Amino acid sequence: MSAVIELRSAAPRHFLDLKDFSGAELRALLDSAAQFKRTRRSGKKPLAGRTLALIFEKPSTRTRVSFEVAMRELGGDVITLSSRDMQLGRGESISDTANVLSRYVDAIMLRTGAAAKLHELAKHASVPIINGLTELSHPCQIMADILTFEEHRGPIGGQAIAWLGDGNNVATSFIEAAARFGFSLRLGCPEAHGPSRDALAWAKAQGADVTVTTDPRAAVAGARGVVTDTWLSMADSPDDAAERFAALGPYQVTPQLMALAAPDAVFLHCLPAHRGEEVAAAVIDGPASVVFDEAENRLHAQKAILAWCLG
């Protein structure tokens, strides 16, 4: 019991956004993720006796399964909740929820459409809070993306990465990653669906090599990695689909656009993908695609994050 009291008395180690960490800290997490991947069947259980609560206000396949498997392979236990399972969905305050769950579990992952909820939870919880996705960012995904790129093409520092399409929450986390890992990021987006101005201003202040263009060909030219995401995110209204698809059509990742990237460029997508919309089937199902390695690496990156958060 004394060990638990000592752990809970220290400030919890939250994993909320990539910009909260130094490049060295994030590099250490990636090294840990690679080690967890190499030793997956070692039988070591560093988180035995620990419990992780997963709270989903947004649906998920990869986030849920990867976190559940990660925690169990590390020896811990998992409780999975949706907002309809909790009093949080019936008006209980976030602060009360944070205080109560902190008495039961050792860490909490939240996947929500409201970043304010994530930060309110972190403010009041005495256990680590992990960002499983908000409308503003998706840091766990980008850790898996960088792990995947480096497995296939070596260190990402100094490399050129192209983002095509909607400047959404995943794009924001890529902007933060560019600053912390030292790669060049070119975002090809229509003006009406460009990336966060706050994120771009932060990156500029950090001296990051981040540029935005409305020309998809300029964005991908010579890039070693080409990344995209769905054109209609969970936070977007289906009523806007026609307008969004018309604006984003020129940014579909086609074989013709991929041909402008470096000859050995890899294609990444956090999934779920919509062939014929943001990406052509010939690309996502072709030899440049590493999307299923990328999906697997959510498991290994999140093991590293869990192990770090829980000390």
Q: Would you name the residues annotated as active-site residues?
A: 111, 138, 141, 229, 270, 298
Report which of 27, 41, 116 is spatially closest to residue 74, judged by C-alpha positions: 41
Identify the residue whose tokens are 């849920």.
Answer: 64
Question: Could you tell me the two tokens for 119?
Answer: 């930060």
Six-digit token pair at 180?
A: 């912390």
3-state SS class at 183: coil
Q: How far apart are CA 240 and CA 248, in angstroms?
A: 12
Nearest of 286, 282, 222, 288 to residue 252 by alpha carbon:
282
What is the radius of gyration, based on Cα positions, of the chain?
Answer: 19
**DSSP secondary-structure letter at 238?**
G
The residues that bridge with 51 in the sheet, in sequence order, are: 77
22 Cβ partners below 8 Å, 6+ apart? 180
For residue 275 the two structure tokens come to: 């062939």
Residue 236 amino acid letter: D
CA 143 to chain centre: 6
Spatial separation of the C-alpha atoms in residues 253 and 276, rounded to whole Å: 9
Q: Cβ(194)–Cβ(247) under 8 Å?
A: no
Query: Contacts for 7-13 with beta carbons within 8 Å, 24 or more apart?
Result: 7/311, 8/102, 8/126, 8/127, 12/122, 12/125, 12/126, 12/127, 12/128, 12/129, 12/309, 13/128, 13/308, 13/309, 13/310, 13/311
